[in-house]
Structure 1
Amino acid sequence: MHRFLLTGVLLLFSMASSAQFILKGKVTDAETGDPIAFANVLIQGTSVGVTTDFEGEYLIRTQTQGDSLTVSYLGYTTQSKKIQKLNEQTINFQLWPEAFELGTFVFEAGENPAFEIIRRASDRRKDFDKRSLEAYQTKNYTKIEVDIDNLSEDFRQRKSVRTVTAVLDSIRELTNDEGEKILPVFFSETVSQFFYRNNPELRKEIIEKTKVTGVGITDGSTTSQITGSVFQEYNFYKNWLRILEKDFISPIADGWKTYYDYDLMDSVLVGQDSCYKLQVYPRREQDLAFTGTIWIKKADYSLKQVDLTIPKAANLNFVERIKIQQELEHTSAGPLIPSKTRVLLKIGQITDDTAGLLAKFYTATDSVLVNQPKPTSFFNQAVELKPDFSSYSSDFWKSIRPDPLSDEELAVLQMVDTLKRIPIIRFYSEGLKFFATGYLPIKKIDLGPWTEFGNYNNVEGLRMGMGLRSNFKFSNKWLLEGYAAYGLVDQRWKYKLAATYILDRIRWTTLQVRSSRELDQVGLEMENLEGNSVFLAASRFGTLRRPFVSTNQRLVFQREFFKGFLFTAGINHFQFDPLFDFYYQAKGSNELKSQFKTTEIRGGIRYGRDELIIINDNTRASFGPNRWPIVALNFAKGIQSLGGDIRYTKLNFYLYQRLTMGILGVGRYELDAGKIWGEVPYPVLKNHLGNETFFYTTAAFNTMNFNEFASDKFVSLRYRQSFEGFLLNSLPLIKKLKWRMVGNANVLFGSVRNENIQNVPSIDPFGNPLKTFGRLDPSKPYVELGYGIENIFKFFRVDFFHRMTYLDQPEAKPFHVKVSAQIIL
C-alpha cells in the first residue's frame, strides 16, 4: 500500500514538474498605443525570456512559472507585473518613453568591438541596397492613422471641443494606461503595386484598392495617391534618408564614425539567423541622427532588423519623436527589401493650450519580383489609380489585411466616422482647407482664391474681388476658372477667364485658352508669380512701382512625352498700358509711344528626371526632385502680325538643384540665363527683381533696389545654404536654442545693347524728365553675400546682406538687414 502511495506521489510530482505554463501578451507604447517590437521580456529571477515580434507580441512556454514578468527596451522605462498562478495567462504592457542619456554609456580604451561589425556592414552596402537591382516590384499593404493627442485640460474645456467630446461620450474612449486621451481624425488602408527601375532610376505605384476616412476628407481619389507606399520609403542603405524634408544620416553610412557611437549588446537568434545586436547613439544629440537598435547578420553583415528613433533633443522644431522599425528580407538576387515597416511621428504642442499630433504608418510587403524591368513609358505617371479603386466591401478588407485590425483600430474607425459628421468639426476642417489651399469646395465648384477677395494699394484703393473654378466632381476633362476684381479708386475691372481641356491624364496633355486683364508692375508681372498666390497678393499691397494694366489672350498646349519631360507651346497676345510716365521710341521712327502690343509664339521644355508628380484632381502637383536637377528651356518669338507691334526673339535657360551636403547641411542653387534679340522697350527686357522691403525673400536680390537694373543678355547664379546644426550644435549654450546658420551668395552678369538704350528718351513730349532704367557693366558682376541665423524662437530668421559691387549707384546701400518668419521643422 505504501509502495502504491509513494508511486502515486512521485507520478503527481513528475506531472507537476513537467507542466507547461504559457505567458503571452502585447507590449505597446503608452503614449501612442503603437506596438513595441524587439522588446526584451524576461521571467524575473530566471534566464527564460523572449523578444517581442514586429507586432509587439510575445509568447513564452516554460516549466518555470516565476513570480513576475519584466519588460525592458532602450528608450523606455522598464516595467514588471506579477504572474498569477494560472497555466495560461495574458499580460499586456504599456511602456513610457524616457529621455535617452548618451553620457550613461562608457566605452573602454582601444577600438570599440562594434566598430568592426559596422565597418563590414558599411563596406557591403552596395551588395544589399535594393537600388542595385535592375528592377523590382512588390505588392504592398499600407495603413495610416492620424490622431490628435496631448489634449490639455484647457484645450478640452474650450466650447467647441466640449461639443465634440459630448457627442463622443457614447463611443469607447481611446486612452493609454494613464488615461491620456487621443482623438483620431484620419484612417486609411491601401493595397498597391510598387515598381522600381534602375538606370534611369524610376518609380511608380499603382493604387489597386483603398479605403480612406477622415475629418475634412472629401475627395478620396486625390488623398489616396499619397496614402500608398511610395511616400513611405525608408532605405537605411542610403547615406542619407530624407524625412519631412530633412536629411538624416544612416547608422551604416560611409561617414558613420563621424556621427555615431555603438555598443555591441549581444549575439541573438532572430528567426533562423544569428545576429549581432548593436545599440547606436549620435555623438552629438542635436545632430539629425538616430538612436536605437540594429541587428546585423553574422553570416553576411546585412541588416536584419532596425528599431531607430530620432530623439527629442535633435535639432528639429515641434517634432517630439520619429520612430522607424523595419524587418528586412533577402530577394532572390541578394539585395534586401523591407518586409514590414512601421513609422511613428509625434508632433508636440506648439503652445500649452493647444493639442499635439500623432501619425502612424505601417507597410507590409510581399510578392517580390526582381530584375524584370518595365519599359520607360510605363513610369510616365508616378502614382496611378485603378478605375474601381474604392469599390470594395468591408469583408474584402478583412480578407486582404496581413493582420486583423486591433480593437483600438476598430474604435478609431468608428470615432472618425462620427467626428466627420459633427457640424462644428466640419466647419473647422473646411475652414482650415480653405486657408491652406485658397479654395472652398461647394459641390461642383470651388470658391476662391481667398487672396482675390480684398486688397489695398495706392492705384486701386480698396480692391474687392471674387473667383470660382470647377472641380473634379464637375468634370475630369474640363477645368473652368476665373475671377473678377474692382478697384474703388481707379474704377477699373480686372478679370481672368480660363478653360482647360485635359486630353490625356496618363501622358499629361492639356489645351488651355485664357483671357485676362490685370494690374501689374514692371519686373513683377503676375505671370511670373502664378502658383504663389500669397506673394502675389502681397505684391499688390501698398505702393505700386511702375504700375501698368496688362491685357492678355493666350492659347497653351502641354504634353508630357515621357517621364519628367514636359513640352509646352502656345501663342500669347499682350497689351501694355502704363499708369506711370513711360515713353519709348519705335524702331525706324522718331515717334514717341507710351503703349505697345506684343504677339508671341512660345515653346518650352522642362525636364525633372526624378521629380515626383501626382495628379491633383484636374491639376498636377509636384513634390520636388530627389537628386537630379530640374532643367527648363523656353523660347518666345515676337511677331509684327496678329496685332503685335514689335519683332524680337527671347531665349531663357533655367536650372535648379537641391544638394545634400552631409555635415554641412543642404544647399540649393538656381542658374538663370537669357538673351533677347531685337529692339524692344525696356518693360520687355529682363527687369531684375530687387527688394527694398525689410523682409527677406528668395525670389529677389535682397540688396538691389526695385527696377534698378534691366538686361537683354544675362546670367545669374543664386545659391543658398542651410547649415542645419553645423557648428552651432557643438556650442554648449547655443545648441539648446537650436539656432541654425544660413548663407547666401548671389551673382548676376548682364548687359544691354545700344539700340535698347537709345530707344528710351530722357524727356517726354512735354519736356518733363522721364525715369529710365539701370544697366549692368558686362565686365562687372552684381554680387551680394549674406549670412544669418534661422530658427530663432522656432519661427524667425535674420539675414545680414552685404552689397559687394555697384556701390556708386544712386541710393545704393552696402549693408542690409532682412527678417522673415517661417514654419520649419
Structure 2
Amino acid sequence: MISLIFSKKSFTLLLFITCFAVCAQAQTVIKGFVRDAQTHAPLAFVSVYFKGSKGVVSGEDGSYSISTTNPKNTTLEFSFNGYRVLRKKIEVGVTQDFDASMEVAEMASVTVNSRKRTKYSNRDNPAVDLIRKVVDNREHNRMKAFDYVQYQQYEKMELSLTNKPEKLMHNRLLKNYRFLVENQDTSKIEGKALVPVYIEETISNKFFRKSPSKEKTYVLAKKKVNLGEFVDNDGITRYLNSMYTPIDIYEPNLMLLSNQLLSPISDLAPTFYRFYLGDTVELDGIKLVKLTFAPRNVNDLLFRGSMYVTLDGNYAVQKIQMGLAKHANINWTKELRIKQDFERGADGRYHVVMSNILSEFALSKKASGGLVGERTVSYKNYVINQPAPDSVYEGRPEVYVDAAASGADSFWTANRHTALSATEEKAYTNMDSLKNMKSYRRMMDWATFLLAGYKSAGPFEIGPVNAFYSFNPVEGFRLRFGGRTTPKFSKRLYFETYAAYGFKDDRWKYFLSAAYSFNAKSIYSFPLNYLKVSYQHDTKIPGQELQFVQEDNFLLSFKRGNNNKWLYNDIFTAEYVREFGKNISYTFGFKNWKQQPAGSIIYEKPIATGTSTIPEITTTELSAEIRWAPHEQFYQGKVYRIPINNKYPIFRLRYIAGIKGLVNGDYNYQQLTMNIFKRFYFSQFGYADVVTEGGYIFGQVPYPLLTIHRANQTYAYQLNSFNMMNFMEFVSDHYASVSTDYYFNGFIFNKLPLIKKLKLREVAGFKMVYGGVRRENDPAYNKETFLFPTDEKGQTTTFSLAGKPYMEASVGISNIFKLLRVDLIKRLTYLDNPDVPNWGIRFRARFEF
C-alpha cells in the first residue's frame, strides 16, 4: 500500500515536471519600457496584452513584463487613452526585449456611421467636467491653502552637451577634451549621450505662513561648478532660474523658458485644450482616473500630456507628465519634458514630492547635437499646520545657515535626497580641471572677443572692437583704440581709457577713468560698491543715452536724414555706486560738463542788433539716484548687464541739482525724473513691456539743458527711443511719456494656413510723450534764453510739445529666421515739422525662445 502511494506520488511529480518543462519550453516572455514617441517620457498604466487575452499595465517608470504559453499569441498590443494602439509582432517561445514608443492619436474627430467627422466639443464631455472639478478645487489642493507648511527641498540644476555617442567621441572641437566626452550618460535621452558641463545643487529648509503672508528659505548648503573667469557663473544661475522656474501645477499660468504658458489646470484650459478620459486605476485604496490633454491648435505654445486625478472628492493631481506640443511656436527647443509626482500625506492631501523639467536645445529640430538643461527638485519632511516661531520669518527672505557646509563632501553624501550618478559626480572634477587648461582658456578668450568685443592681454582687456571704427558728419572717418584693467591687475583698482581721432575735424578725443572697489569685487559685477572718477573729451549727439551699446558703434554710423547735430564735450564725473541684496541701489554723483556746439547747432541769443553767439556753456551738477528692481535677474556682460525680464517692475528716481558758480557752472536748476518699467504677461495672448516716465525741471535754463527727448535716426528699432523722431527735435522742462511693445507670440499667425509653418510672431508698439516748455524757458517769450536751432532754410528744427503729444505706432513681424524683427512705424503727430518721416521700416535682431 505504501509503495503504491509512493508510486502514485512519483508519477504525479514526474508528470508535473514533464508538463513544466514543456510549458517552459513554449513560454514567450516580453519585457521593456513604454515611452511617448516624441518626448520619450515613460508612460505609466499603459495596457499591454495579447489580443483576446488578459494583460498587464506598465509601471510608474513605464516598465512592463508579460508572458504567455499560447503559441497563437503572436501579436502584442499596447493601448493607452489619447495614443494610437501599437501592435508588435513577436517571436513565439523566446524571451525578448521590446521598448514601445507610442504616438499621440489624432484627437480632432471620431468616425461615425454617416462618414462625417464630429468635431470635439466641451459640451457633455465628462473629461471637461472632470478638469473643471480639478480647477474648482485648485486652491484647496495648493500648498498655500495651509496655514503653515515646512519642508526640506533638494534642488539640482544641470547643463549637458548632447549628441549621438559616436559623434561626441569624434567631435573635432572636443578632441583636446577627451576626458569630458568619455564621461557620458546615455540613460536620459534615448539614442543620445549627455556630457554634463554644469551642475548646481542646493539644500534648503522652507517655511511658509499664510497670514500674515511670509516665506522664508534657510539655505543649508550650495554647491556648483565654476566655469572660470570668462563666464558670469552667478549669471548662469540666474538665467537657469528664469528658464526653469519652479513649477506649481495648480498655477493658472506657468513660467517656462522665459515664456508664460497656460496651465492645463486653469479656468481657460477648456478653451485652449482638448481633454479625454482614460482608464481608472486604484492606488493605496484611492481611485485615480487618467486625464489626457492636448492643444486645440497644435502650433500654440501649450502642453500635451496626461495627469492622474483622485476621485476621493479632493480632485487632486497625483501625477502629471507633459511636454510641449509637437509644433509649438518656440525656438531652439527640440524637446521638453515636465514630470511631477505627489504623495498622500497624513492629512489626506497630496503633496508634491518630485518635480523634474528637462529640455533639449539645438539650432534646428533635425540637429543631432545640442544642449540639455534639467532642473530636478525633491521635497520631504513635510510638517503641516504646525506654527513656527515668529523669529523664523524675520530678516531677509533667504539666508545661508552654514556656508562652510557647502564644500564638505560628507555633508552632501549624508543629505542629498538622491545620490548623484557617477557621471554627475565626475563632472565636478572634470570641469575644475577644464577651467585650468590653457587650450580652454585660449578658446574662451577668443570667444569673448568675438561675442563681447574684448580681448584679454594679461591684466588688461583691449576693446570694445565694434567701436574701433565708425563715421559721422562731424568727425568723418573715426578710429578709436582702448582698453581696461581686469581683477588680475588689482581687485581694488580699475582703470579704463581710449583714444580716438576724427579725420574730418582733425581732433583727438580721449577718455580716462579710475575706480576703487570697496568690496574687492569687479566694478561690473553684483553687488556694486565702488567710487569712480572719469574725464572725457569727445563728441556726442544731444539727448542720446543708449543702452547695451557704445554710441560710436560702427553699426550705428548708418543714419537716416540729417545727422548734423553734435556737441564737443569735456565731462568730469565722480560717482559712488552701492547695491544691496534686495536689488536696491543708489548713486551719488558730481558732474562738471562743458559743451561746445558742433555741426549745425549754434548757441545764439537775440540782441538789439541781431544775435549773439555763445561758444560754450558749462554746468556743474550734484545728483542722487535710487533704483529698486525687486527679484531682478540678469547676465553680467563685459560692460552691460543683459536683463532677464520677469513680471516684477523696476523703479528709478533721479534728482539733479545744477549749481551756478561751482566750478564755473553757469546755471541754477533742479531736475526730478521718475521711470518705471513693467512686463505684463497675458498667458496665451503674449506679453507687453511698458515703460512710463515723467520729469520736471525747476529753474530758468536754455534749451540744451532741457530734457531732449530720446530720438532715433538709425535703421535699428530702439526700444527706449522714439523711432520716427529726429535728433533734438523736441525739448521739454516738464513731460510724461509711455512706451509699449506688445508681443503676441504668434497668437494670430499660428492659426493661419501656410503662414503658421514659418513660426512667425506678431508685434505692435505705441509710444507717446506729452509735455511742454514754460514761458521762462521758451525763446518765443523769453528773449534772454537761447534761440531754438534752425536749418539752412531758416526753419526751426527744435520744438516744444505744447498743445498736443508726440505719438507713433508700429506693427511688425518677429522671429524671422528665429532672429530678426521688422517693424513698420507710422508717425501720428507733428507731421508738418521740417524733414520728418511719416513712415519708416526698422530692424532689430534678438535671440528669443
Please give the range of the TM-score, normalised by the shorter of the 2 chains: 0.7 to 0.9
Instruction: Pick the structure with greater CA Rg.
Output: 2
Counterpart amino acid of residue 497 in structure 2: Y
User: 2:310 matched to 1:297?
Assistant: yes
Q: Distance in 1 between matches of 2:787 and 2:431?
A: 68
| Maintained 8 Å contact 1:749/1:776 | no
Q: Which residue of structure 1 lines up, in the alignment, with residue 767 of structure 2?
A: 746
| Maintained 8 Å contact 1:190/1:207 | no
Q: Which moved further from structure 2: 137-146 or 36-45?
A: 36-45
Q: Distance in 2 between matches of 1:277 and 1:661?
A: 29
State the Cα deviation string for residues 478-498 of structure 1 (Å, max 9, x = none).
462423232253442422414
Q: Distance in 1 between matches of 2:438 and 2:477?
A: 38
Q: Distance in 1 between matches of 2:188 and 2:788?
A: 80
User: 2:477 matched to 1:461?
Assistant: yes
Q: Which residue of structure 2 lines up, in the alignment, with residue 125 of structure 1?
A: 138
**TM-aligned CA deviation for residue 583 of structure 1:** 4.5
Q: Which residue of structure 2 lines up, in the alignment, with residue 655 of structure 1?
A: 676
Q: Which residue of structure 1 lines up, in the alignment, with residue 567 of structure 2?
A: 548
Q: Which residue of structure 2 lines up, in the alignment, with residue 49 of structure 1?
A: 56
Q: Which residue of structure 1 lines up, in the alignment, with residue 328 of structure 2?
A: 314
Q: Distance in 1 between matches of 2:147 and 2:449?
A: 44
State the Cα deviation string for residues 56-88 of structure 1 (Å, max 9, x = none).
3748799999999877777799596979999xx
SS in 2 for 1:345: strand
- Structure 1 spans left out of the alignment, 5+ residues: none
| Maintained 8 Å contact 2:679/2:688 | yes
User: 2:821 matched to 1:797?
Assistant: yes
Q: Which residue of structure 1 lines up, in the alignment, with residue 654 of structure 2?
A: 634
Q: Which residue of structure 2 lines up, in the alignment, with residue 785 of structure 1?
A: 809
The structure-2 alpha-carbon separation of the partners of 1:93 and 1:355, relative to structure 1 and needing over 3 Å to count, comes to same
Q: Distance in 1 between matches of 2:126 and 2:433?
A: 55
SS in 2 for 1:744: strand
Q: Distance in 2 between matches of 1:414 and 1:259?
A: 47
**TM-aligned CA deviation for residue 462 of structure 1:** 3.3
User: 2:436 matched to 1:402?
Assistant: no
Q: Distance in 2 between matches of 1:507 and 1:135?
A: 34
Q: Which residue of structure 1 lines up, in the alignment, with residue 8 of structure 2?
A: 6
| Maintained 8 Å contact 1:234/1:241 | yes
| Maintained 8 Å contact 1:135/1:196 | yes
| Maintained 8 Å contact 2:277/2:292 | yes
- Structure 2 spans left out of the alignment, 5+ residues: 111-117, 780-784
How many matched pairs?
A: 807
| Maintained 8 Å contact 2:34/2:102 | no
SS in 1 for 2:736: strand
The structure-2 alpha-carbon separation of the partners of 1:520 and 1:200, relative to structure 1 and needing over 3 Å to count, comes to farther
Counterpart amino acid of residue 567 in structure 2: F
Q: Distance in 1 between matches of 2:262 and 2:149?
A: 25
Alignment of 1:800-819 (within 5 A): 800-819=824-843
User: 2:499 matched to 1:485?
Assistant: yes
Q: Distance in 2 between matches of 1:109 and 1:603?
A: 59
State the Cα deviation string for residues 425-445 of structure 1 (Å, max 9, x = none).
554444334444555567766
1:678 to 699, 721, 725: 699
Q: Distance in 1 between matches of 2:106 and 2:218?
A: 41
User: 2:389 matched to 1:378?
Assistant: no
Q: Which residue of structure 1 lines up, in the alignment, with residue 517 of structure 2?
A: 501
SS in 2 for 1:492: strand
Q: Which residue of structure 2 lines up, in the alignment, with residue 821 of structure 1?
A: 845
Q: Which residue of structure 2 lines up, in the alignment, with residue 193 of structure 1?
A: 204
Counterpart amino acid of residue 652 in structure 1: T
User: 2:612 matched to 1:612?
Assistant: no
**TM-aligned CA deviation for residue 262 of structure 1:** 0.5
Q: Distance in 2 between matches of 1:375 and 1:545?
A: 62
**TM-aligned CA deviation for residue 294 of structure 1:** 0.9
| Maintained 8 Å contact 1:174/1:411 | no
The structure-2 alpha-carbon separation of the partners of 1:231 and 1:126, relative to structure 1 and needing over 3 Å to count, comes to same
| Maintained 8 Å contact 1:451/1:533 | no
User: 2:547 matched to 1:521?
Assistant: no
| Maintained 8 Å contact 2:355/2:378 | yes
The structure-2 alpha-carbon separation of the partners of 1:815 and 1:144, relative to structure 1 and needing over 3 Å to count, comes to same
Q: Which moved further from structure 2: 563-572 or 643-652?
A: 563-572
1:432 to 421, 444, 447: 447
SS in 2 for 1:36: coil
**TM-aligned CA deviation for residue 292 of structure 1:** 0.4
1:38 to 44, 50, 57: 44
Q: Which moved further from structure 2: 412-421 or 455-464?
A: 412-421
Alignment of 1:252-267 (within 5 A): 252-267=265-280
Q: Which moved further from structure 2: 740-749 or 8-17?
A: 8-17
**TM-aligned CA deviation for residue 102 of structure 1:** 3.6
Q: Which residue of structure 2 lines up, in the alignment, with residue 735 of structure 1?
A: 756
The structure-2 alpha-carbon separation of the partners of 1:709 and 1:514, relative to structure 1 and needing over 3 Å to count, comes to same
Q: Distance in 1 between matches of 2:180 and 2:645?
A: 46
SS in 1 for 2:157: strand
The structure-2 alpha-carbon separation of the partners of 1:270 and 1:682, relative to structure 1 and needing over 3 Å to count, comes to farther
State the Cα deviation string for residues 152-211 of structure 1 (Å, max 9, x = none).
9999988x447458x469937665899955462514140232657677776767371314
Q: Distance in 1 between matches of 2:613 and 2:31?
A: 92
Q: Distance in 2 between matches of 1:810 and 1:620?
A: 36
Give the aligned CA root-mean-square deviation in angstroms.
4.8
| Maintained 8 Å contact 2:543/2:709 | no
Q: Distance in 1 between matches of 2:788 and 2:202?
A: 69
Q: Distance in 2 between matches of 1:473 and 1:41?
A: 67
**TM-aligned CA deviation for residue 517 of structure 1:** 0.5
Q: Which residue of structure 2 lines up, in the alignment, with residue 171 of structure 1?
A: 182
The structure-2 alpha-carbon separation of the partners of 1:71 and 1:466, relative to structure 1 and needing over 3 Å to count, comes to farther
**TM-aligned CA deviation for residue 277 of structure 1:** 0.9
| Maintained 8 Å contact 2:204/2:218 | yes
Q: Which residue of structure 1 lines up, in the alignment, with residue 115 of structure 2?
A: none
Q: Distance in 2 between matches of 1:282 and 1:675?
A: 50
SS in 2 for 1:466: strand
SS in 2 for 1:378: coil
Q: Distance in 2 between matches of 1:552 and 1:811?
A: 31
Query: What is the aligned-residue identity percentage?
Result: 23
Q: Distance in 1 between matches of 2:796 and 2:377?
A: 62
User: 2:407 matched to 1:391?
Assistant: yes
SS in 2 for 1:572: strand
| Maintained 8 Å contact 1:306/1:327 | yes
| Maintained 8 Å contact 2:333/2:361 | yes
Q: Which residue of structure 2 lines up, in the alignment, with residue 268 of structure 1?
A: 281
Q: Distance in 2 between matches of 1:787 and 1:763?
A: 33
The structure-2 alpha-carbon separation of the partners of 1:546 and 1:295, relative to structure 1 and needing over 3 Å to count, comes to same
| Maintained 8 Å contact 1:797/1:820 | yes
**TM-aligned CA deviation for residue 227 of structure 1:** 6.2
The structure-2 alpha-carbon separation of the partners of 1:760 and 1:108, relative to structure 1 and needing over 3 Å to count, comes to closer
SS in 1 for 2:195: strand
State the Cα deviation string for residues 113-157 of structure 1 (Å, max 9, x = none).
111211111112222233455675643333333333456999998
Q: Which residue of structure 2 lines up, in the alignment, with residue 349 of structure 1?
A: 363
| Maintained 8 Å contact 2:301/2:684 | no
Q: Distance in 2 between matches of 1:385 and 1:615?
A: 26
| Maintained 8 Å contact 2:30/2:98 | no
Counterpart amino acid of residue 125 in structure 2: N
Q: Distance in 1 between matches of 2:550 and 2:284?
A: 55
**TM-aligned CA deviation for residue 754 of structure 1:** 2.9
| Maintained 8 Å contact 1:41/1:52 | no
Q: Distance in 2 between matches of 1:420 and 1:183?
A: 19
| Maintained 8 Å contact 1:312/1:319 | no
SS in 1 for 2:134: helix
